[in-house]
C-alpha cells in the first residue's frame, strides 16, 4: 500500500501531503524534512528510489515539482511510476496545462482529485475518464448549491426590501 | 452568497503569504489570519466556516499548529450541504490523524452520511473512513460499508471495497463478514470495481488463512480467466497505457495469483500457462510493461516450483539488469535478492552483470548490488569475487569504501580457503582502505597471523612491503608495527621463506625506520603510537645493534603529554638502558592467541558486521577467528590470557610486563589500601620523584598489584630485613625490580640533610612492642613534619597482620604511607618501618599530639594496643 503521498517543490516547500498510514504531527514534519533533503539533492540520472526506514520512496520530477510516494518493500515500485504519472495527467486535464501555482491556489482541488484516485493507500480507479467525471460531478454539485444559495439570498433580500 | 467574496479570501491570504519576504513576515500574516479564524470560530460564524477551514488547511501545510480548527471540521461535516461536507471531510483528513479523540465524535456523522441518499456524499464519507478510520470506527461502521459493497453505483462499490481493506486491517476479526461480498466483486466487469475487489481479496488472504483457502478453492480458475481475457483484450483507449490495457489491473491480478499459488501446487499449476504468456508476450520497452513483467517474475518466484517458468523469470531479470534505465536495474537487483533464496544457482548466472552494478555510478544501485554480491559468495566463487571487489576498492568513491570494505572483510573471513589467502587479501584491503577497516577486523588478522606459525616470516615481509608502498593507512601500520615488533628478526634473516616470495633484503635499521616513521606520523593516534613503543622495546632485544637508536626514540616520548605514552616510554627506556639481563625474557614473543576464545568473544559483534542470517553463522570453516571489539586493551592483555586477569585498564600492560619476572612476588602492604588498578601503580611510580622518602614504599605497591593473580609468597620479609631498614634500598639481591626503580628516583634524602635535627623519641612502649619516631623537616616547609616510625617486637613470638593506625586533632593533617611489612619478626630480629607526614596548620602555636592504635596477631590471637603520644619535641 501507499503510506503517503508528497508533492514537494524544488525549494522544498510542501504543496500536498496525504497520509494513509498513521504518523503523528511530529513524525510528519520529520518525514518531510528528511525526505525533501534526500530527494532534492539527488542527481537526475540516478534511480528514482530512496530507501527510507524500511520503506521505498518512489519519486518522479515534473518541472519544478517532485511527486513522491512511499510504499512498502512488497509493492511494485515500477507501477508507482505509472500511478504518479496518472495523477499528474489528471491534474493536467483538470487544470488544463497545470502549473505549480495552480496547486498553490487550488490545493484543495488537488486533494479532491487525489481522493478520487487513491483511497486507503490503494489505487481506486484505472480510468482517467471516470475520475474526471466524478470530479466534474462534484464541482457541478457545489456550483448548484451556490446558485441555490444566492437565489435564496436574492429572494430573502427582495422580501426584506419590500 | 459566495463564501469567497468578502473578507480576506483564501486566494488573498495565499497571495499575502507568498508575498512575504522573510519568515518573520510570514509568521505575522499567519498569526493575523489565525486570530481572525479563532474569532470567527468563537462567534460561531456559519457563512465563512468552510473558507476558514480551507485557510487553516493551507496554514497547516505550512507547518503551523491548527488544532483549534478541528471542531469546525465536525460542524461542517454535520451541515447538510454538499460543498460544506466536502471541505469538512477534507479538513478532517488533513487536520486530524487517526490518534485524535475528536475522531470518535465524527463517527455518527459518517454513519449518517454512509446512509445518505446522495451517492456523492456517501462517497465522501467512505473516502474519509478509508483514509483515517480508526479501529473503533471500523467496528462501528463495518455493517454500513459491507452493505455498500452491493451499492448500485460502481463508484461507491469501489470506494467501499478499499474502505473494507482499512476496516479488516484495523479489525482482523471482521474478515469473515467481508469474504462473500468480496468474492462477488471479482465477477464485476467494471475495471475500477474489479481492481479494488482484487485488492480487497488479496488483503483478506494476507490476513486470514481461512479466507485464503476460500478464495483459492473458489476463485483461482476464474481469476486466471480474467487475466487471460485482459491480456488478450483488444485496444481499449480508456484503460490503455503505452499499448497495454490496464496495467494496474494486470499487476493486481498477478499479485493475487501469487498469494493463491504460494504453497499450493494445484493452484500454481493452473496459472502456469497464463504466467508464461504474460512473461513472454508483454512488451518491455515502456515502464508499464516492465512493471507487469516485474510483478510476473515475483509471482513466478513465489509460487510452487516450475523449472521452465523460473528460467524464464531469471532471464527477464537478466534483461532488466542490462537495461540502461537505472530504475529497472534497481528493481532487478531487488528481485534477485528475493530470488536467491529460491534458486541461487540461477542467480549465480548473472554474477558478472551484478558485479558490474557494484561499480555503477548510482549509489542506490551500488549498495543493492553489493548486498546481492555478498549473498552470492560461496566457497567456490569467493576467490574471484574477492579479487574483483578488491580491485574495485581502489577506484571506488570514498563514501562507498566503508560499506565495501566491511563486506569484503566479511567475505574474506567467512570463506577464506587457507590462511595465506586470508592474510594476502586482508593486506590488500588494509593497504587500499585501511582507514575504513573496523578494529575487530585487524585484531582478527593479528590473531590469524600468530596462529599461522609457518607464515610469520611471510606476513611480516608482506606487511613491510605494503608499508613501503602505502604508508598512510592507519590500521595497516598498526598490524605492520605489531608484526615487526614480534617477528622483526624474521624480516631481517628471511626465515621461513616461501617459494612464491621474492627475496627481500631488509636491514635492522630499515625495520626500525618503519616504526620510527609511524610513531612520528602526525596522523598516528594514541593506539598506534603505543603499539610502536611496544614494538620498539621488542626490537631493542631482537636487534641489539640498534638498541641505542631505539632508546633515543623511546626517550623522546618520556616527555609526552599523553600519560599512556609517557608511562611506556619511561618504563621501556629504563628496561633498555639498564636491564639487558631481563629484557630478552620480558619481550619474548607473544603466546599464540587463542582463536576459539576470540571467535567466542566476538560472537556478539559478528551479526552486526554481517547483514544476513547466512552470515551470522559462526562456524568458520577455515578456523579464522575474530577478535572482540575492545581495541588496544584487548590486544595488550593478550599476554595474560593464560592467567585470569581481573582488571582491564590500559595500565595492565605494565602489570603484566612486570609480572613476567615477579610471578612469585606478592605481599600485603600493611594498612596501605590495596592497589588494584595498574594506573595507580603508574601514579605511584611517577610520584617517586616528589616526596623524597617514598621510594621504598613504592616497591611493595608494585608488588602488591600482582597479588590478585599470583600465589602469595612474602618477599617483603626479606625486603624489610634489618639490612635495609628504610629510605633507600641497596641490596642487589632483593629483586631486579628494585634496580628498575632507582633509575629515575632521586637519591633518597636522609633526615640529616634537612637542616634542623630533632631528637628521636620512643613514642610508645608496652610489654611487647616499642615504637620509635625519627623526625625530619623539609627545608622551607616548617609546617610539615616527616616521621619515620620504627616498630620493634620485644617478645619471642612474631606478630602477623600488623596494622598501625593513628589519629590527630583537627588542626593537624596526617598522611600515613604504607608500612614496609605486616609481619614483625620476634625478639628484635627485624622491624617494620612506616612513614607519616603531618602538616601542622597552627605551626608555632600548638605542638603535635597523636593517638595511636596497633593491631596485630600473635600466637593466633588478636591483640590491640592503644596509646597517646604527647612527648613530641617542641617546635614541630
Q: What is the mean pLDDT of chain B?
A: 77
Residue B309: the pLDDT is 87
Cβ separation A47–B365 shorter than 8 A:
yes
pLDDT on residue B681: 40
The helix/strand/coil state of B589 is coil
Cα separation of B655 and B647, whole Å? 10
Closest residue on chain B to A143 (Cα): B83
- Mean pLDDT over residues B410-439, rounded? 84
Residues B403, B213: Cα–Cα separation, whole Å: 44
Concatenated DSSP letters for B367-432?
HHHHHHHHHH--TTTHHHHHHHHHHHHHHS-HHHHHHHHHHHHHHHHHH-SSHHHHHHHHHHHHHH
Query: Is the CB of residue B160 less than 8 Å from the CB of residue A117?
Result: no
The answer, yes or no, to whether residue B122 has pLDDT greater than 50, is yes
Quick one: pLDDT at residue B601? 63
Nearest to A22 among B99, B158, B362 (CB): B99
Residue B395 region by backbone torsions, left for phi larger than 0, else alpha for psi between -120 and 50, else beta: alpha
The Cα of B636 is separated from the nearest Cα of chain A by a number of Å equal to 40
CA distance to partner chain B, nearest, from residue A47 (Å): 5
Q: Which residues contact A155 (CB under 8 A, 6 or more apart)?
A: none
Among chain A residues, the shortest Cα distance to B167 is held by A120
Judge residue B261's burial from the number of C-beta atoms within 10 Å of its C-beta, 0-12 exposed, 13-18 middle, 19 or more buried.
buried
Q: Would you say the ipTM is above 0.90?
A: yes
Which helix (DSSP H) or strand (DSSP E) does residue A29 occupy?
A: helix A25-40
Could you write out the DSSP letters of every residue in B599-646?
A: HHHHHHHHHHH--SHHHH----TT------S--HHHHHGGGGTTS---
B357-371, B529-543, B600-614, B676-690: range with lowest mean pLDDT: B676-690
Q: From the centroid of its chain, how far is CA B245?
A: 51
**pTM recorded for the entire structure:** 0.65
* Nearest chain B Cα distance for residue A99, angstroms: 16
Q: How confident is the model at residue B756 (pLDDT cuts 50, 70, 90)?
A: low
Determine the Cα–Cα distance for residues B52 and B624; give it in Å rounded to an integer. Answer: 70
| Local structure of B818: helix, strand or coil | coil
Which of B16-30, B422-436, B802-816 holds the top average pLDDT? Answer: B16-30
Contact B831, B792 (CB under 8 A): yes
Res A117: pLDDT = 94
> How much is the pLDDT for A124?
93
Q: pLDDT confidence of B360, banded at 50, 70, 90? A: confident
What does the angle CA B230 – CA B231 – CA B237 come to, to the nearest 5 degrees?
65
Q: Which of A105, A129, A145 sits opposite B83 (nearest CB)?
A: A145
More confident residue, B21 or B346: B21
What's the DSSP call for residue B140? H
How far is the C-alpha of B12 from the C-alpha of A105, rounded, in Å?
Answer: 9
Average pLDDT over every residue of A38-59 = 87
Contacts of B98 in chain A (CB under 8 A): 22
Residue of B nearest to A105 (CA): B11
- Taking 90 as the threshold, does the pLDDT of residue B459 lie above it? no
* Number of neighbouring beta carbons within 10 Å of residue A74: 12
How confident is the model at residue B195, as a pLDDT? 93
> pLDDT-based confidence at B99, cuts 50/70/90?
low
Taking 90 as the threshold, does the pLDDT of residue B854 lie above it?
no
Cα gap B147→B164, rounded to integer Å: 11
Cβ(B158)–Cβ(B189) below 8 Å: no
* CA–CA separation, B184 and B218 (whole Å): 11
Cβ A10 vs Cβ A66: under 8 Å: yes
Mutate to test the interface with A, among B23, B196, B294 (most CBs of A within 10 A): B196
Size of interface A-B (CB pairs under 8 A): 159
Q: How many CB atoms lie within 10 A of CB B647?
A: 16
In chain B, positions 322-361, which contact chain A (CB-CB < 8 Å)? 326-331, 334, 361
Instruction: Compare all CA atoms of chain B with the CA of A79 and give the residue at the minimum distance.
Output: B291
Give A-chain residues touching B54 at CB under 8 angstroms. 108
| pLDDT band with cut points at 50, 70 and 90 for residue A95 | very high
Q: Are strands A2-9 and A14-19 parallel, antiparallel or unpaired?
A: antiparallel
At residue B635 the predicted structure's pLDDT band, cuts being 50, 70 and 90, is: very low
* Alpha carbons B784 and B332: distance in angstroms, whole number: 83
For the cut 80, the answer to whether the pLDDT of residue B806 exceeds it is yes
Task: Give CA separation, B197 vs B147, B159, B186, B340, B434, in Å.
Answer: 14, 10, 6, 32, 57
Q: How many CB atoms lie within 10 A of CB A61?
A: 16
Q: What is the mean pLDDT of residues B320-342?
A: 86
Is the distance from CB of B516 to CB of B546 less than 8 angstroms?
no
What was the pLDDT predicted at B90? Answer: 93
CB–CB of B241/A82 below 8 Å? yes
| Dist CA B611 CA B371 (whole Å) | 8
Residue whose cell numbers read 602526525: B522
Judged on CB neighbours under 10 Å (0-12, 13-18, 19+), B873 is middle
Nearest-CA residue of chain A relative to B83?
A: A142
If one compares B276 and B860, the residue with the highest pLDDT of the two is B276
Whether residue B5 is predicted with pLDDT greater than 70 in this model: the reply is no
What is the tens place of the pLDDT at every residue in B731-755?
Answer: 444 444 444 444 444 444 444 444 4
Least confident of A33-47, B177-191, B242-256, B839-853: B839-853
Nearest CA in chain A to B241: A82
Distance from CA of A49 to the nearest CA of B (A): 7
Is there a contact between B330 and A47 if contact means CB atoms under 8 Å apart? yes
Classify B591 as helix, strand or coil. coil
Give the number of other Cβ atoms within 10 Å of residue B835's Cβ. Answer: 22
Write out pLDDT tens, residues B39-69.
888 888 777 888 889 999 999 988 888 888 8
Nearest Cα of chain B lies from the Cα of A67 at a distance, in angstroms, of: 16
Q: What is the 3-state secondary structure (H, E, C) of A45-71?
A: CCCCEEEECCEEEEEEEECCEEEEEEE
Rounded to whole angstroms, what are the CA distances from B304 to B258, B299, B308, B342? 10, 10, 12, 10
Please check the confidence at residue A81 and state whether its pLDDT lies above 70.
yes
pLDDT for the residue numbered B7 = 60
d(CA B231, CA B243): 11
On whether the CB atoms of residues B47 and B3 are closer than 8 A, the answer is yes
B286, B247 Cβ separation under 8 angstroms: no
User: Phi, psi at residue B439, to the nearest 5°?
Assistant: -55, -45
Q: What are the strands, taking DSSP E only, across B715-794?
A: 761-765, 769-777, 784-793
Chain centroid to Cα B498, Å, comes to: 39
Rounded Cα distance between B82 and B99, Å, is 27
Q: Across the interface, do B192 and A127 touch by the CB < 8 Å criterion?
A: yes
Secondary structure class of B141 (helix, strand, coil): helix
Q: Which residues of B touch A138 (CB under 8 A)?
A: 82, 86, 120
Compute the average pLDDT of residues B231-259: 90
How are beta strands B713-714 and B665-666 bridged, if at all? parallel
Q: What is the pLDDT of residue B557?
A: 83
What pLDDT is attached to residue B339?
A: 83
B845: pLDDT strictly greater than 70: yes
H-only helix segments in B175-306 = 175-185, 191-207, 209-231, 247-261, 265-281, 287-302
Closest residue to B291, CB basis, from A45, A82, A129 = A82
Contacts of residue A75 in chain B, CB cutoff 8 Å? none
Q: How far apart are CA B622 and CA B418, in angstroms?
A: 7
Amino acid at each position: 500500500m501507499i503510506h503517503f503521498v508528497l508533492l514537494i517543490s524544488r525549494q522544498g516547500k510542501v504543496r500536498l501531503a496525504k497520509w494513509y498510514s498513521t504518523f503523528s504531527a511530529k513524525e510528519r514534519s520529520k518525514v518531510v524534512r528528511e525526505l525533501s533533503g534526500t530527494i532534492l539533492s539527488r542527481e537526475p540520472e540516478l534511480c528514482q528510489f530512496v530507501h527510507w526506514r524500511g520503506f521505498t520512496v518512489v519519486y518522479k520530477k515534473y518541472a519544478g515539482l517532485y511527486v513522491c510516494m512511499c510504499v512498502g518493500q512488497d509493492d511494485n515500485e515500477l507501477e508507482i511510476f505509472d500511478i504518479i504519472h496518472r495523477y499528474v495527467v489528471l491534474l493536467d486535464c483538470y487544470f488544463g496545462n497545470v502549473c505549480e501555482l495552480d496547486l498553490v491556489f487550488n490545493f484543495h482541488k488537488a486533494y479532491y482529485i487525489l481522493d478520487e484516485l487513491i483511497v486507503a493507500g490503494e489505487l481506486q480507479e484505472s480510468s482517467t475518464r471516470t475520475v474526471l467525471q466524478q470530479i466534474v460531478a462534484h464541482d457541478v454539485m457545489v456550483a448548484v448549491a451556490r446558485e441555490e444559495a444566492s437565489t435564496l439570498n436574492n429572494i430573502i433580500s427582495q422580501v426584506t426590501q419590500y | 452568497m459566495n463564501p469567497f467574496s468578502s473578507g480576506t479570501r483564501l486566494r488573498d491570504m495565499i497571495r499575502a503569504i507568498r508575498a512575504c519576504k522573510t519568515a518573520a513576515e510570514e509568521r505575522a500574516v499567519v498569526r493575523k489570519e489565525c486570530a481572525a479564524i479563532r474569532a470567527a470560530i468563537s462567534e460561531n460564524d456559519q457563512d465563512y466556516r468552510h473558507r476558514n477551514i480551507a485557510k487553516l488547511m493551507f496554514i497547516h501545510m505550512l507547518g503551523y499548529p491548527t488544532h483549534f480548527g478541528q471542531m469546525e471540521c465536525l460542524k461542517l461535516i454535520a451541515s447538510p450541504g454538499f460543498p460544506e461536507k466536502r471541505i469538512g471531510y477534507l479538513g478532517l483528513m488533513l487536520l486530524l490523524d487517526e490518534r485524535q479523540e475528536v475522531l470518535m465524535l465524527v463517527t455518527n456523522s459518517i454513519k449518517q452520511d454512509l446512509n445518505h441518499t446522495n451517492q456523492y456524499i456517501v462517497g465522501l464519507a467512505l473516502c474519509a473512513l478509508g483514509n483515517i478510520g480508526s479501529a473503533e470506527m471500523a467496528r462501528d461502521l463495518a455493517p454500513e460499508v459491507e452493505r455498500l459493497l452491493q451499492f448500485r453505483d460502481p463508484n461507491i462499490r469501489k470506494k467501499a471495497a478499499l474502505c473494507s481493506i482499512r476496516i479488516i486491517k484495523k479489525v482482523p476479526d471482521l474478515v469473515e463478514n467481508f469474504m462473500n461480498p468480496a468474492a462477488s466483486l471479482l465477477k464485476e466487469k467494471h475495471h475500477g470495481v474489479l481492481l479494488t475487489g482484487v485488492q480487497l481479496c488479496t488483503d483478506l488472504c494476507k490476513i486470514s488463512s481461512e479466507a485464503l483457502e476460500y478464495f483459492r478453492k473458489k476463485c483461482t480458475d476464474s481469476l486466471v480467466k480474467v487475466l487471460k481475457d485482459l491480456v488478450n483484450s483488444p485496444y481499449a483507449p480508456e484503460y490503455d497505457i503505452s499499448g497495454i490495457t490496464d496495467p494496474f489491473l494486470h499487476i493486481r491480478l498477478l499479485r493475487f495469483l501469487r498469494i493463491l499459488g504460494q504453497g499450493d501446487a494445484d493452484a500454481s499449476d493452473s496459472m502456469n500457462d497464463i504466467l508464461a504468456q504474460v512473461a513472454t508476450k508483454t512488451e518491455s520497452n515502456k515502464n508499464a510493461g516492465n512493471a507487469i513483467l516485474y510483478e510476473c517474475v515475483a509471482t513466478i518466484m513465489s509460487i510452487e516450483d516450475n523449472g521452465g517458468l523460473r528460467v524464464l523469470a531469471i532471464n527477464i531479470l537478466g534483461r532488466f539488469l542490462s537495461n540502461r534505465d537505472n530504475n529497472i536495474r534497481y528493481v532487478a537487483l531487488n528481485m534477485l535478492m528475493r530470488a536467491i533464496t529460491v534458486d541461487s544457482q540461477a542467480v549465480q548466472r548473472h554474477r558478472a552483470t551484478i558485479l558490474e552494478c557494484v561499480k555503477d555510478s548510482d549509489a542506490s544501485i551500488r549498495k543493492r548490488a553489493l548486498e546481492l554480491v555478498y549473498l552470492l559468495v560461496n566457497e567456490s566463487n569467493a576467490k574471484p569475487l574477492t579479487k574483483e571487489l578488491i580491485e574495485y576498492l581502489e577506484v571506488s568513491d570514498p563514501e562507498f569504501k566503508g560499506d565495501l570494505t566491511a563486506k569484503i572483510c566479511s567475505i574474506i573471513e567467512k570463506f577464506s580457503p587457507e590462511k595465506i589467502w586470508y592474510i594476502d587479501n586482508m593486506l590488500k584491503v588494509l593497504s587500499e582502505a585501511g582507514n575504513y577497516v573496523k578494529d575487530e577486523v585487524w585484531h582478527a588478522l593479528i590473531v590469524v597471523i600468530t596462529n599461522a606459525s609457518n607464515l610469520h616470516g611471510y606476513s611480516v615481509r608482506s606487511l613491510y612491503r605494503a608499508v613501503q608502498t602505502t604508508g598512510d593507512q592507519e590500521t595497516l601500520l598498526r598490524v605492520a608495527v605489531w608484526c615487526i615488533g614480534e617477528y622483526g628478526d624474521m624480516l631481517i634473516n628471511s626465515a621461513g621463506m616461501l617459494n612464491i616470495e621474492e627475496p627481500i633484503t631488509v636491514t635492522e635499521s630499515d625495520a626500525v625506520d618503519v616504526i620510527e616513521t609511524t610513531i612520528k606520523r602526525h596522523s598516528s593516534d594514541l593506539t598506534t603510537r603505543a603499539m610502536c613503543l611496544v614494538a620498539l622495546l621488542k626490537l631493542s632485544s631482537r636487534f641489539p645493534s640498534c638498541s641505542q637508536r631505539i632508546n633515543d626514540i623511546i626517550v623522546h616520548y618520556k616527555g609526552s603529554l599523553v600519560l599512556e605514552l609517557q608511562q611506556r616510554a619511561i618504563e621501556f627506556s629504563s628496561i633498555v638502558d639498564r636491564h639487558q639481563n631481563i629484557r630478552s625474557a620480558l619481550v619474548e614473543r607473544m603466546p599464540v592467541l587463542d582463536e576459539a576464545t576470540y571467535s567466542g568473544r566476538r560472537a556478539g559483534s559478528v551479526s552486526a558486521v554481517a547483514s544476513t542470517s547466512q552470515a551470522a553463522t559462526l562456524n568458520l570453516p577455515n578456523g579464522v577467528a575474530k577478535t572482540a571489539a575492545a581495541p588496544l586493551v584487548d590486544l595488550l592483555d593478550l599476554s595474560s590470557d593464560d592467567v585470569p586477569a581481573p582488571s582491564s585498564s590500559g595500565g595492565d600492560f605494565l602489570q603484566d610486563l612486570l609480572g613476567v619476572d615477579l610471578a612469585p612476588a606478592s605481599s600485603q602492604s600493611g594498612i596501605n589500601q590495596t592497589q588494584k588498578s595498574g594506573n595507580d601503580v603508574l601514579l605511584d611510580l611517577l610520584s617517586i620523584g616528589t616526596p623524597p622518602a617514598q621510594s621504598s614504599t613504592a616497591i611493595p605497591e608494585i608488588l602488591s598489584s600482582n597479588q590478585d593473580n599470583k600465589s602469595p609468597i612474602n618477599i617483603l620479609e626479606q625486603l624489610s630485613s634489618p639490612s635495609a631498614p628504610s629510605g633507600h634500598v641497596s641490596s642487589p639481591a632483593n629483586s631486579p625490580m628494585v634496580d628498575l626503580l632507582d633509575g629515575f628516583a632521586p637519591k633518597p634524602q636522609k633526615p640529616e640533610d634537612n637542616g634542623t635535627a630533632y631528637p628521636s623519641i620512643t613514642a610508645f612502649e608496652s610489654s611487647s612492642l616499642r615504637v620509635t619516631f625519627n623526625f625530619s623537616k623539609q627545608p622551607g616547609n616548617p609546617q610539615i613534619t616527616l616521621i619515620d616510625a620504627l616498630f620493634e617486637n620485644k617478645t619471642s613470638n612474631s606478630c602477623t597482620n600488623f596494622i598501625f593506625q593513628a589519629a590527630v586533632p583537627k588542626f593537624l593533617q596526617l598522611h600515613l604511607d604504607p608500612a614496609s611489612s605486616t609481619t614483625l619478626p620476634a625478639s628484635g630480629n627485624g622491624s617494620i618501618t612506616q612513614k607519616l607526614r603531618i602538616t601542622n596548620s597552627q605551626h608555632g602555636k600548638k605542638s603535635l599530639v597523636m593517638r595511636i592504635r596497633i593491631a596485630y596477631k600473635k600466637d593466633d590471637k588478636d591483640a590491640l594496643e592503644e596509646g597517646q603520644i604527647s612527648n613530641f619535641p617542641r617546635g614541630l
